[in-house]
Amino acid sequence: MPPQALLRHFRPRWLILATTSLIVSQIIGLATPYLIKLAIDEGIARANADLLWTLGAAGLILYTLGALTRFSGQWYATLAGEDFWEGARDEVFQHVQKLSLATLATQRTGELVSRIYSDTFHIKQLATSVLPAITSLLVGVGGTAAILIWLDPRLALLAAIPLPVGWLLLHIFRRRVRPMSRARLETMAALHSSLHEGLAGIADIQALGAREIFARRVRDAGRSLKAAELALASHRARLGPAVDLALSLVLLATLVIGGQYVIDGSLSVGTLVVFYFYVGRCLGPLRGVPGILYGWHGARAAAERIDALLAIEPRKPAEPSQLTPRPGPLTVRVESLSFAYPSSNIAASSTSPGVIAGLDLEIAPSEAVAILGPSGAGKSTTGRLLLNLFDPEEGRVILQGIDARQWPLAELRRRVGYVGQEIFLFDGSLRDNLFIAMNPEERRRAEPYLDAILKLAGLQDFVHDHPDGLDAPMGERGARLSGGQKKRVALARALLRDPDLIIIDQMATDLEESLNARIFSALRDRKLTMIYLGHRVPAGLNPEHVFWMEAGCLHPGPPDLYQP
């Protein structure tokens, strides 16, 4: 995806309406001081009351129009910004969702959240802050300059003296703004990461007595952010007063030298007053210049960070197979499968040493296979490769005679159930978690089997005893359930899809033997193909084959592993 693609979320409709309104409001703003000159020189000085009242009425209309167009300009700029933020956040999040799991595992969640949320926010400000400031600078100051020259070229020249100085100042300041903005965003992301890690692992952190360590990590990250904020603020604080000083000197010089012209009789009081007004009108937009500079470079630094994320290629789907997977329990054939995780850097293309090395496996329909082995042998990785969550380096997984990468993805997800080692439940009800990602038709088909599946997964009593039944809240990541309950909810969730192959990663260790025996023998009765990954064969599984996995290679399992 080209990085600039995000900019399309700035809808031209809102940008055009915002810019037009802001330009009109600036033009109205330019006209109003001239009314004052006319009122003083033509109305008051010549005692022309009719003209004075007419000018008053014209002023009323112009001030009202000015207020309305200023409001609509800011409103449309806000709409442009919010549309962008919504669309860009969505797009970056969806891009992250499509990245390979192996790549994502190298990235800190807080860092990703920061890019999705804060960095897009900084780009949004191009519309909400930078656009109005640039419009008032170009139209307001440009128009004022033209009027000043028309009113009195001598004074206009005087007013223009600080401009080259201002330009030079901006040029000097500009060079440091982008790296400082980038440093600020990076320290902000580091703080997000520390906060996320400190909160996600709060139970273990408390149990380990590591509260102070994580508090220190958050404090240190906060300190770095504060230092980056202060560096940027002090940089900006120096530019702001420098601009102010130059502008105040212009105002003073206009008053003194213009006053001298009035005394000499070469300038009317009205012209001097209005000149003074116009120069004063420029103050606001010119004071906004540091805001434009910092807003622009902040947005560019944020865009660079998002670009780096968008530049990571998502997993490419393989060419879909011309064959349709046969219904019924799946056959599994694994041919010379090899896999290595990428190294720790998200953008690096290098990989860690191989985890799965030339694995072969053959499972007939309705057979159960247990793959056992020591911790870190590669069992869970094999499970994820069978689910087509990673692309193997070599070899392939063939389900029902078709390469898993070439299956229609939705069908693969429905027909291959998965109960992972770490269960993800989201903060919703039990019912919501069970039926997640099922369309209304699939849900209608599954609902009649719900009670039987809850019974199989040993969840019937939980639902019966809980005051909210199926509406029981699960808490964030299933925090309101025990480890074994989470596994059983995940099993029920997988079975509700009526899978033809189920891969279960270490469920048995979280449940008592009698429950294992009941669950696994009931699963065998369903005649679906089963792959169990763990350290021992669970009661009730009675697998046709047991394999021993070590350092990513499979060996036939010794007979003493067959039973608990």
Ligand X SMILES: Nc1ncnc2c1ncn2[C@@H]1O[C@H](COP(=O)(O)OP(=O)(O)OP(=O)(O)O)[C@@H](O)[C@H]1O
The three-point CA angle 243-245-248 to 5° equals 110
Q: CA distances (Å), 259 to each of 157, 264, 277, in order?
A: 16, 9, 14
In the set 352, 439, 482, 514, which binds ligand X (CB under 6 A)?
A: 352
Closer to ligand X by Cβ: residue 10 or 390 = 390
Is position 380 an interface residue for ligand X (rule: CB under 6 A)? yes
Q: Return the number of other C-beta atoms located less than 10 Å from residue 206's C-beta.
A: 11
Q: Tell which residue, 493, 475, 363, 501, has the closest CA to residue 431.
A: 493
Whole-angstrom distance, CA of residue 550 vs CA of residue 561: 14
Is position 420 an interface residue for ligand X (rule: CB under 6 A)? no
Helix H or strand E encompassing 553: strand 553-556
Of 131-139, 220-228, 329-337, 374-382: span binding ligand X (CB under 6 A): 374-382
Map tokens 């209309």 to a residue: 61
Closer to ligand X by Cβ: residue 255 or 553 = 553
Is position 350 an interface residue for ligand X (rule: CB under 6 A)? no
In the set 421, 429, 460, 509, which binds ligand X (CB under 6 A)?
A: 421
3-state secondary structure (DSSP) of residue 30: helix
Strand partners, 546: 370
DSSP string for 326-347:
PSSSPPEEEEEEEE--B-SSTT
In the set 24, 377, 454, 481, which binds ligand X (CB under 6 A)?
A: 377
Whole-angstrom distance, CA of residue 458 vs CA of residue 466: 14
Interface map 58-97 toward ligand X (x if CB under 6 A): ----------------------------------------
Q: Is 148 left (phi over 0), alpha (psi -120 to 50) or beta?
A: alpha
Is position 107 an interface residue for ligand X (rule: CB under 6 A)? no
CB of 199 to ligand X, least distance (A): 21
Is position 334 an interface residue for ligand X (rule: CB under 6 A)? no
Q: Tell which residue, 89, 68, 77, has the closest CA to residue 25.
A: 68
CB of 418 to ligand X, least distance (A): 14
CB of 533 to ligand X, least distance (A): 6
Contact in structure between 364 and 328 (CB atoms under 8 Å):
no
Is position 19 an interface residue for ligand X (rule: CB under 6 A)? no
Is position 355 an interface residue for ligand X (rule: CB under 6 A)? yes
CB of 380 to ligand X, least distance (A): 3
Closer to ligand X by Cβ: residue 379 or 486 = 379
In the set 173, 275, 278, 341, which binds ligand X (CB under 6 A)?
A: 341
Closer to ligand X by Cβ: residue 101 or 227 = 101
CB of 93 to ligand X, least distance (A): 20
Longest dimension (CA), the chain: 116
Is position 379 an interface residue for ligand X (rule: CB under 6 A)? yes
Closer to ligand X by Cβ: residue 379 or 405 = 379
Interface map 274-313 toward ligand X (x if CB under 6 A): ----------------------------------------
Q: Tell which residue, 474, 524, 540, 530, has the closest CA to residue 505.
A: 530
Helix H or strand E encompassing 502: strand 501-505
Closer to ligand X by Cβ: residue 29 or 378 = 378
Closer to ligand X by Cβ: residue 267 or 355 = 355
Q: Contact positions toward ligand X, by CB under 6 A?
A: 102, 105, 341, 352, 355, 373, 375-381, 421
